[in-house]
Amino acid sequence: MKLMHLSDLHLGKRVNGFSMLEEQRYILEQILELVRQEQPQGVLLAGDLFDKPMPPAEAVQLLDDFLAELSGCGCAVFAVSGNHDSPERVAYGGRLLRHSSVYMSPVYDGSIVPITLEDEQGPVDIYLLPFLKPASLRSCMPEAEIRSCQEAVAAALEGLPVHPERRNVLVAHQFVTGAQVLEQEELLIGGTDGVEASLFDGFDYVALGHLHGPQQVGRETLRYCGTPLKYSFAEAAHHKSVTVVELGEKGHVTLGLLPLTPRHDLREIRGTYDQVMDRSAYTQQNRFDYLHITLTDEEDVPDAIGRLRTVYPNLMKLDYDNRRTRESGTLLAEEAPEQQSPLELFGDFYRMQNNKDLDEAQLAYLQRLTKEIWEEEV
């Protein structure tokens, strides 16, 4: 049986103030073409379908179009909600969608019922585990004292009707301890958010979402497929792909990667202003890439970001690396406030008010506070 593993579409996302909607539309069309070529029996969507619990209408329409096209390809679709999604929104219409072989994880109510596919080797049971945190289980397990994601996931998986002689697949959206995280992911991953890989030992393949870098955790069949697009400059060196999973007889799983090529890449370049503006340094295609440019000029270039955008309209971030910045130990950035994270904005405000940077204790406190606010929103 052939399955395709995707996650973290983050439809409706803005990166440094730039809408990614058209880039997402382009990459979803590419994925659909791969589905038509590969003809899998199922597509696994491991959470964070949207970037926000209340996504813009255009993002909702884009997911609706994508699911309709996938269903029209003749494959089943299995999707779970992630920490960026509203579980209720993802679950809405789920019973109707099942008639089109589109299975959306319901709001967790204490039970998980597998969906079974068949091939010449027999049945494959697919379990959908939406993103869980301790609060997710309070209504359905009021007597249990669940204080961490580890305990929440363990409680959800305990007692599942997993038949050890059958092939079992889990679609989940959690942080598995030991996985490599990117810089921007560290804020949302604390000590209580990790779950042990051993919780998933009963499954032949675990299709994970949550982390943007493609990777396995421990065994090859416990895998994050990563995002289909680059959503931060920490991902600039990544090669995005779709993971293809082939289940043979029990115990035999093979994996493959199908590369994805964005319409416009997200890249980092550096050099002097003249070098970067040299026409030989860019082509008509890559000048529209999303860029982080680091200028090495010793003197600041007046209105550098505005002048550079006449050539590179999708310039997202500009900073300097020269003797002055190296002596201060900080790259000096030139960017619009809407392109900065909340922590960066507060850091700038604190610096202006106090003429010094946040210390490590203050930064750690702000990170914890931001994380708590984020979890309340999602």
Task: Check residue 370 and give its pLDDT.
Answer: 73
The C-alpha atoms of residue 184 and residue 60 are separated, in whole angstroms, by 25
70's enclosing H/E stretch is helix 57-72
CA atoms within 13 A on the CB side of 166: 18
The C-alpha atoms of residue 166 and residue 12 are separated, in whole angstroms, by 38
The C-alpha atoms of residue 164 and residue 288 are separated, in whole angstroms, by 51
3-state DSSP assignment of residue 58: helix
Residues 282 and 199 in one domain: no
Q: Which of 215, 230, 259 is the last residue of a domain?
A: 259
Task: Give residue 110's region: left, alpha or beta (phi > 0; psi -120 to 50).
Answer: left
Residues 96 and 177 in one domain: yes
121-125, 209-213, 291-295, 338-342: range with lowest mean pLDDT: 338-342
> Is pLDDT at 331 greater than 70 in this prediction?
no
Residues 194 and 223 in one domain: yes
Q: CA angle, 24 as apex, 18 and 30 as ends, to 5°?
A: 145
The C-alpha atoms of residue 375 and residue 372 are separated, in whole angstroms, by 5
Residues 154 and 205 in one domain: yes
The C-alpha atoms of residue 322 and residue 48 are separated, in whole angstroms, by 39
The C-alpha atoms of residue 128 and residue 105 are separated, in whole angstroms, by 6
Task: Check residue 351 and give its pLDDT.
Answer: 60
Residues 331 and 254 in one domain: no
Residues 316 and 273 in one domain: yes
Task: Check residue 349 and give its pLDDT.
Answer: 66
Write down the residue that tokens 């990544």 correspond to. 238
Give mean pLDDT, residues 118-130.
95
For residue 373, give its domain range: 341-378
3-state DSSP assignment of residue 339: helix
Residues 360 and 229 in one domain: no
Give mean pLDDT, residues 128-139.
89
Residues 87 and 144 in one domain: yes
pLDDT bracket for residue 375 (50, 70, 90): low
The C-alpha atoms of residue 232 and residue 14 are separated, in whole angstroms, by 10
Write down the residue that tokens 């109510």 correspond to. 109
Q: Which of 259, 294, 324 is the last residue of a domain?
A: 259
Residue 270, token pair as written in the block: 């550096």
Residues 54 and 90 in one domain: yes
Residues 218 and 306 in one domain: no
The C-alpha atoms of residue 96 and residue 112 are separated, in whole angstroms, by 18
Q: How many domains does the chain have?
A: 3
CATH of the domain at 181: 3.60.21.10
Number of neighbours of residue 114 by Cβ within 10 angstroms: 19
> Is pLDDT at 378 greater than 50 in this prediction?
no
pTM: 0.83
Task: Check residue 40 and give its pLDDT.
Answer: 97
Residues 329 and 354 in one domain: no
Q: Which candidate, 169, 171, 165, places its Cα nearest to that of 250?
A: 165
If you average pLDDT over every residue of the chain, what do you get? Answer: 87
Task: Check residue 315 and give its pLDDT.
Answer: 94
pLDDT bracket for residue 187 (50, 70, 90): very low
Q: Which of 71-85, 183-197, 277-291, 321-335 has the highest mean pLDDT?
A: 71-85
Q: Which of 241, 259, 277 is the last residue of a domain?
A: 259
Residues 303 and 231 in one domain: no
Q: What share of the chain is helix, strand, coil (3-state, %, to 5)?
A: 35, 25, 40
